[in-house]
Copies of this chain bind each other. A is one copy, B any other.
Amino acid sequence: MENHEKPHFGYIYPRPAVTTDCVIFGFDMTEELLKVLLIERGIEPFKGRYALPGGFIKIEAKTNEYGLVVEERNESLLECAKRELKEETGFDVQNIYELGTWSTPGRDPRCITITDAYYALVTIQPVRGGDDAADAKWVPLYQVLNTIKNLPEGMRFLAFDHDEIITAAHIRLQQQLCFEPLAFKLLPKRFSMSTLQKLYEAILEKNFDRRNFARKMLDSGILDVFPTESRNINYQLNLEKYEEFKRTGRLSNLIF
């Protein structure tokens, strides 16, 4: 977000700066917690506060004689956001979805800034021992949300308006779970039923009966079954079956 502040020529029709921010969700299988990736800001504004990873969109394009951007970029906002994430957090994010824009006046003290927010689903690699990005940190979502909820009126926990963004991202995740197989993008290819249940419980903030949950999942037919060496069973999403499940309109059976 920094090297945007170099001097440049003024222009008559001011345009807002455009940035992207991303709520990266990950499911910590060992702690059985849904977490988000936050970054400690090293510079002002909000130096020392945690923030969502993101930054200014850098458009590589030329302007015509009127100052209008004419040369085609070779990427969309989404692709920009992906590239930024790669640069900033080292994550090669595949499952990323748009959340919405934030443009409240004054949200960025430096200049008028519109943020296009995303949320992404990644599998937290069990590479214990040191996170990649030095100042990046996986924080339990429920802790962040609780902190935000209990904040005194007018106070904020995260930098900028990231409190709102992360809250909205969680709600969206909860809702989209009804329509898309999002949970499976937070898990390794194969997983146990209890892990899947723990994840659903973490996302929806609800507890389910173990046996009813398993039956519902299995009856839906969207899971392939894989025995293991032990008596335990592993499962894997069958995407074709899921899509058929959607087509045949029985999706509401998977809503909890």
Contacts and interface: CB of A to CB of B under 8 A. Distances in A.
A165 B78 CA distance: 16
Contacts of A13: 4, 6, 8, 58-59
Interface string A54-68: 000111011111111
Interface of A: 4-18, 57-59, 61-70, 72-78, 98, 100-101, 103-106, 110-112, 114, 116, 175, 178-179, 206, 249, 252, 255-256
Given A73-B112, A252-B256, 17 more contacts: A6-B13, A10-B11, A11-B67, A14-B62, A15-B15, A15-B16, A15-B59, A16-B18, A16-B57, A18-B114, A59-B112, A72-B105, A73-B105, A74-B105, A101-B116, A252-B252, A255-B255
B111 A68 contact: yes
A64 B10 CA distance: 8
Contact of A63 (B14, B59, B66, B74): B14
Contacts of A116: 101, 114
B105 A67 contact: no
Nearest to A72: B105
A63 B11 contact: yes
A194 to B, nearest CB: 23
B110 A68 contact: yes
Contacts of A76: 103-105
